[in-house]
Chains A and B, each alone.
Chain A
């Protein structure tokens, strides 16, 4: 879900061979942030599909059981965040096995960032601060490293991992680039931006890296969808009497403080 550029999302939606496909969004890797849920709602809520959210932090007693919910979807769309946490939570809730089953049934499995790498044999995650190789679910042979142009330090770690054999050969992808695998094989590379590419990274018999740039098919721009996030937003708890504007302001301050590397001096927050 690129901000204001839903071309890749529209591409994913068109992969399901049914009218009004059921699309399940899992924002697990980000800790189910409201922004991601709202953004999914705005984009998919305006399209001819049946969007749903699965929050592993807000499961209620009367919710549909995970098994029937996951196995009844046409498309499963996984959001970005911490791949480390994503896989740990999926395993804790038994979702990882259900994804294998969904894959066997032919469900379209999609995602961005951590949500893209999770399907592969491995990737490079910054879940613990510094980029490090990590194993995925292994539904697709090969590895994937995302944000290639945007976070070059990931690519360095990725190439080292492929060269050393820690990760199998695979691909790096720029933001705005999608890789379509069918039956475990790369079928097509698509891009929503002119300059986005994927790069195939392999090791030859002498242990040298061999890289091939794959230019993708440029997707037609899709107008930004409007509205439609109403029924999808499910609040966890009201923000202790905070108005939405005030809450956003405080959240921005928290984020800025977190990025600055410390969490002290909070007394001045309000």
Chain B
């Protein structure tokens, strides 16, 4: 959910291969922040998807909420979308509610799992976070047997810390710029897509004598859709508001 740039979100909806995918938002890493949930529904609430969200902090206010409901709901989704925030808080709350197991089942069942920031780190075996002062290594769900470091372009100290951790024995993995996304099918990296022309991702691994290799990966920019071709006899007027069609009097 990048502000004013729906490219990545549209890509995720397309990737599901479903006309009107069921997409469930997990805002756990933000403490189920209301404004984040609002943003999700504003982005995915159109005709293109069937959105829902699961709150682990307000389960008691949901009528008829019983253990098991959340699992059933998540397993019936086409897409599960995990928001950003604190990775440690995310994993702590998920484990307390058994969602770590549920999400693994969903993944094995073919549900498309995606997320940003902490919502990206969580799927990997090792995450590099900068939340607690110096960057540290946090064990994720481990669906993907790699390490992951996000905001690779935004916070230079992370890049340094990530390389050091890989030298120190953290599994090889990926550093990802803001605006770039890794697409895995199973545990295979299929491609890197970006919502910004210059964003990309890097493969980082340790050599045999302890040196670190970083390779810039090819990325595909998800260009915005071409503007619609104006039918003859019509003039499209842009004034910052939604485009209005004006018929030519001829």
Contacts and interface: CB of A to CB of B under 8 A. Distances in A.
A129 interface: yes
Contacts of B46: 267
A57 B29 contact: yes
Interface in A44-64: 55-63
A141 interface: no
Contacts of B51: 263, 266
Given A82-B57, A89-B92, A247-B35, A59 B131 contact: yes
A264 B92 contact: no
Contact of A240 (B38, B53, B56, B91): B38
B247 interface: no
B31 A65 contact: no
Contacts of B62: 129, 258-259, 261
A56 B89 contact: yes
B86 A128 contact: no
Given A59-B86, A61-B133, A267 B45 contact: yes
Contact of B93 (A88, A237, A269): A88
Interface residues of B, number: 49
Interface in B154-184: none
B32 interface: yes
A29 to B, nearest CB: 8
Contact of A270 (B42, B67, B93, B132): B42
B178 to A, nearest CB: 14
Interface stretch (A30-38, A70-78, A200-208): A30-38
B34 interface: yes
Interface string B41-65: 1100111001111011111111111
B92 to A, nearest CB: 3
A69 B51 CA distance: 40
Given A31-B32, A56-B86, A92-B92, A240 B66 contact: no
A239 interface: yes
Given A240-B3, A240-B35, A258 B58 contact: yes
A65 B133 CA distance: 8
A103 interface: no
Given A240-B39, A258-B62, A128 B34 contact: no
Nearest to A31: B31
Interface of A: 29-34, 55-63, 65-66, 81-82, 84-85, 87-89, 91-93, 126-130, 236-237, 239-240, 242, 247, 250-251, 254-255, 258-261, 263-264, 266-267, 269-270
26 contacts: A33-B34, A56-B89, A57-B29, A57-B85, A57-B89, A65-B132, A65-B133, A66-B132, A82-B57, A88-B95, A89-B93, A92-B92, A92-B95, A128-B67, A130-B66, A236-B30, A242-B38, A251-B34, A251-B38, A258-B61, A258-B62, A259-B62, A260-B63, A263-B52, A264-B52, A266-B41
